[in-house]
Structures are given as structure tokens and as C-alpha cells.
Amino acid sequence: MNSIRGKISINIVLICLAVFNRLHVVAQDSTCQAYAATDNDQLLRKTFVPACLLAGSMATWHYRKDFRDLRNKYMPGFCHHYDDYLQYAPAALVFSLKTAGVRGKYNTKRTVVSYVLSSFIMAGLTNSLKYTSRVERPDGSARNSFPSGHTANAFMNASFLDHEYGNRSLGYSVFGYTAATITAMTRQFNNRHWVPDILAGAAIGMLSAELGNYLAGKICKKDRKRTCCVLL
């Protein structure tokens, strides 16, 4: 049991470090420092956290049943469904702020294009893996456990909020990723997913949002981009 708890602690630390790095990047962007990052720097910054999460998914695969045993021992009756709604909270906040007239980084057209593209990419990747890997859920209800669709959607929405309003206030990014993390944890506590499922889902969600945002920029390249310095 001590070895299992040790592995849990190590993975929690890795996840916390990854999230801290992501928020640190947001904080750096919000200072509007005038330096030009190379393409390699940008790629590293945007893929570091998803890479850590994917590595965590692989590292915990062998111990996934140990995590389930801990869940069954300490919270066997846990059954809540707020994760079905919480996963959409970051995206709902974006469109609520837009409706209220709070200026984000991009105009409404580009924001909508980015969200639609990110959603299609996330859904395509998630469902393709679900129905090819055929991993049985912890509760034995179906064979479409890997990766977690709720988690992928939640982290895609959190990254979407980060892209649109993260430069305006770090609080928006903290809210989005907190909601996504709670969604992911609830999926495991509800015995609907293994720990590797939610880690991989988080990585897919973040990568989908990055790719969707990139493609939206190409499609809407004539749209005027607002810089964080203008917002300040």
C-alpha cells in the first residue's frame, strides 16, 4: 500500500508541475514583454504540458487497477453527475463574456471558428481512440474507456478560455483549468474511467484547442488581432 501511495504522490506532483508550467506561460504572456520567440520555442511551450500528461498516462497504465482499488476502498459510494455540466463551464464563460461586451483577444467570428474546429478535432481523436482501443471501463459497463471524452472536452474548453481571456487576467485561466481538473477527477471517482484515461484525455483536449486555434488563425488571417497590451 505504501508503494502505491508513493506512486500516486509522484504522479500528483508531476501533474501539478505541468499545470504550474502552463499557468506560468500564461503569466509571462500577460506581461507583454517585447521579445520574439522562435517557432521551436513556441512549439515547446504549447506541447510541454500535453506531453507530460501523455507520459503520465503511460506511466500509470500498469497501476490503473491499483487506483481503482483505492477508489473502491475509500469512496465506494461516490456518484455525482456535475461533471456532465462542469466540462462546458469554461466555454460557457467565454461566450457569456462575449455577449456581455467584454473584449477578448479575438473577435467573435474567429472565436467561433476556433471553438468549432477544436471541438471537431477533439471529438475525432477521442472517438477514434475509444472505438479502436476498446478498453473496458472500470465499472465494466462498456469497452470505450480510453481516453476520457469528458476530460478531453473539459481541457479543450479550458484551453479555449485561456486563449481568449488568459492574457486579460490569469484568473480566467485558473478557473478554466480548475474546472477541467475537477471534471477529470470526478470521472475517476465515479468509477467511469481509469487514471490513464483522464490524463490522456486532458492531453488530447489541450492539443485539440491549440490546433483549432492555429487553424482558425489561418482561416481568419484577415481579422484584426488585438494584443494584450491593447487590453491593458
Of the CA atoms within 13 Å of residue 225, those in its CB half-sphere come to 13
Q: What is the pLDDT of residues 4-14, one digit of tens each?
A: 555 554 555 45
Percent of the chain surpassing pLDDT 90 = 72
Task: Count the domains in the chain.
Answer: 1
What tens digit of pLDDT does each residue of 28-42 get?
454 444 444 555 567
Question: Alpha-carbon distance 138 to 165, whole Å?
Answer: 36
Distance CA 172, CA 49 (A): 18
CA distance 225 to 107: 8
Provide mean pLDDT across the span 122-135.
97
Q: What does residue 101 show for φ and ψ, rounded to 5 degrees?
A: 90, 10
Burial 58-90 (b: 16+ CB within 10 A, else e): ebbbebbebbbeebeeeeeeeeeeebeebbebb
User: Structural domain of residue 216, as residue ranges?
Assistant: 2-231
